[in-house]
Structure 1
Amino acid sequence: MITIDGLTRDRGKTRILHEVTFRARPGRVTGFLGPNGAGKTSTLRLLLGLDRPRAGTALIDGRPYAAWDRPLTVTGALLDGSGAHRSRTARAHLRWVATGNGLPRSRADEVLEIVGLTADAGKRAGKYSLGMSRRLGLATALLGDPRVLILDEPINGLDPAGIRWMRGFLREAAAEGRTVLLSSHLMGELAETADDVVIIVAGRVVADGTLAEVVAGHPSLEDAFLAHTAGEGTSW
C-alpha cells in the first residue's frame, strides 16, 4: 500500500507539488498520469526518500521508504536508466546490488530470466539499447521480490513486443497481490494496464479513481483511449 497525503514541494520560489494526495492499493495497477513536467517524477522521488517535501507524507506500508531495514525486499523502483555503471555487465551489476542488500547472488540470474536478458547477461551496460536498459532497471527492482513496485515511464524505449511483455508482467504482478504504481505521460499506455488512475497537472491531482470512473468523467480521455485501441496512440 502506498499512501501519499498532502505532499508539497518547492523548487526555489516555485511550488511544484500542491498537497498531492492519493493511494495505490495492493492487487491493483495504479496509473500516475500527466504531461511532462506535471510533477510525477518529483512525487516518486519524495516517495523513495530521494528528496524532502515542504509538507506532507509519503509512506509505503505505513512507513517512509528510508525506515525499512532492507527496503529492496519491500519496494522495487525503476526511475531513470538502469542504475548500472556503463563498464559493468548486467550480471555483475545485479550480483553487486544483491550482495549489498543481503540477497543471494543467484537471484541475479533469476531476475535476468524474468526480464528476458539472460542471453545478454554478460554484455556491458553501456552497450545496452534504451529498451534493454529499462529491462535491466526492472531486474534490479525485482531483486528483493518486493511487494511494492514503483515504475517511472517503464515502457519508454521498449519495442512493441517489449510493451506487450511489460503490460503482461504488470498485470501478473498485481494478480499476485503486489502494489504497482506506474507513471506515464501517455494516456493510451494505461488503457490495457491500469485498474486505477491518478491524473496530475501542474503539480495538482485533478482526478483520482478507477480507470472507468476517470474516463467517464473526462470525455477527452475517453477519446484518447479509443484512439489508442485503434492504433493511433495519444500523448499529452
Structure 2
Amino acid sequence: MISIDQVSKHKGRARILHEVSFEARPGRVTGFLGPNGAGKTSTLRVLLGLDRPRSGTALIDGRPYAAWNRPLTVAGALLDGSGAHRARTARAHLRWVAASNGLPRTRVEEVLDLVGLTADAGKRAGKFSLGMSRRLGLATALLGDPPVLVLDEPVNGLDPAGIRWMRTFLRDSADQGRTVLLSSHLMGELAEIADDVVIIDRGRVVARGTLDEVTGGHPTLEDAFLALTAAGQPW
C-alpha cells in the first residue's frame, strides 16, 4: 500500500507540491493524472526517496522507501528512461541491479522474457529505442517481484501493440494483488484500466476517488478533468 500524506515541496521560492495526499491500495490500479508540469513526477520522486519534501510523509507499506533493506522486493519503479548506462547491455544492467538486492541471475532471464526483450538482451542500452528503454525500465522494476509498482508515464514511446500489452500487464498485476500507481497525462489510457483516480493540477490534488466517483456527472475522464481543474483554487 502507498500512503502519501500532506506532502509539500518547494524549489527555491516556487511551490511545486502543496499538501498532496492520497492512497494507492493493493489489488487496484490507481491512476495519477495531470498535465505535464502538474507535479506527478515530483510526487513520485518524493515517494521513492529521490527528493525530500518540505513537509509530509510518503510511505510504502508503512515505511519510507529508503528504509527498506532490499527495496526492489518491496516496490519496483519506472521513472524517466531505463536507468541503464548507455554502454551496458540490457542483460548486464539487469544483472548488476539484481546483485545489488541479492536477487538470483535466473530472475534476470525471467523478466527479460516477461517484457519481450530476450532477443535484444545483448544490445547496449544506448542503441535502444524509446519503447525498448521503457520495457527495460519495467524489467528492472519487476526484478524483485515486488507487491508495489510505481510507474511514471509507462506507455511513453510504446507502439500501439506495446500500449495494449502494457495495459494488460498492469491490469493483470493489480488483479494478482499488487498495488499499481500509474501516472499519465493521457486521460484515455487511465480510463481503460484505472480503478481509482487522483487528479493533480499545479501541485494540488483537485480530485480523488474511484473512476466512477471522479467522472460522476461527466461523460468522460477528460471532461471531468477539465471541469475540476477549471474550478480549482489558484495558488
Give the TM interval when normalised to the shorter protein.
Answer: over 0.9
Task: Report how far residue 184 of structure 1 moved.
Answer: 0.3
CA distance in 2, matches of 1:222, 1:49: 31
SS at match of 2:193: coil
Indicate if the aligned counterparts of 2:187 and 2:222 stay in contact, CA closer than 8 A. no
Aligned residue for 1:173?
Answer: 173
Answering whether residue 134 of structure 2 is matched by residue 98 of structure 1, we say: no
Give the partner amino acid of 1:41. Answer: T
Task: Indicate the residue corresponding to 1:111 in structure 2.
Answer: 111
* TM-superposition CA deviations, 1:30-68 (whole Å, max 9, x none): 000000000000000000000100000000000000110
Alignment correspondent of 1:37: 37
User: In structure 2, what is the equivalent of residue 155 of structure 1?
Assistant: 155
Partner of 1:51: 51
* Superposition map of 1:1-236 within 5 A: 1-218=1-218, 221=221, 223=223
TM-score (norm 1): 0.93
- Residues 26 and 180, structure 1, Cα contact 8 Å, conserved in 2: yes
2:84 is matched by which residue type in structure 1?
Answer: A
The answer (yes or no) to whether the contact 2:215–2:224 under 8 Å persists in 1 is no
Q: One-letter code of the match for 1:74?
A: V
Contact residue 188 and residue 222 of structure 2 kept, 8 A: no
- C-alpha distance in 2 between matches for 1:218 and 1:20: 24
Q: Supply the AA of the counterpart residue of 1:157.
A: G
Query: Would the aligned equivalents of 1:187 and 1:224 in 2 still touch at CA under 8 Å?
Result: no
Deviations 1:57-83 (A, max 9, x none): 000000000110111100000000001
Distance, in Å, in 2 between the alignment partners of 1:57 and 1:95 is 32
- The answer to whether the 8 Å contact 2:73/2:145 transfers is yes
Letter of the aligned partner of 1:87 in structure 2? A
> How far off its partner does 1:219 sit?
5.2
- State the alpha-carbon separation in 2 of the partners of residues 67 and 100 from structure 1: 15
Query: Does the residue aligned with 1:191 lie in a helix, a strand or coil?
Result: helix
Give distance in 1, aligned partners of 2:224 and 2:179. 26
Q: Could you say if the C-alpha distance between residues 217 and 40 of structure 1 is closer, same or farther in structure 2, counting changes exceeding 3 Å?
A: farther
RMSD between superposed Cα atoms in Å: 1.3
The 1:217/1:54 distance shift into structure 2, 3 A limit, reads farther
Write the distance in 2 (CA, Å) between the matches of 1:98 and 1:12.
Answer: 37
The answer on whether the counterparts of 1:32 and 1:198 sit within 8 Å (CA) in structure 2 is: yes
- What percent identity do the matched residue pairs reach? 82
Report if aligned partners of 2:81, 2:134 keep a CA contact under 8 Å in 1.
yes
Query: TM-score scaled by structure 2?
Result: 0.93
Shift of 1:205: 0.3
3-state DSSP of counterpart to 2:200: strand
The count of residues paired between Structure 1 and Structure 2 equals 225
Long gaps (5+) in structure 1: 226-236
**Residue identity in the other structure for 1:80:** D
| Distance across 2 between alignment mates of 1:72 and 1:143 | 7
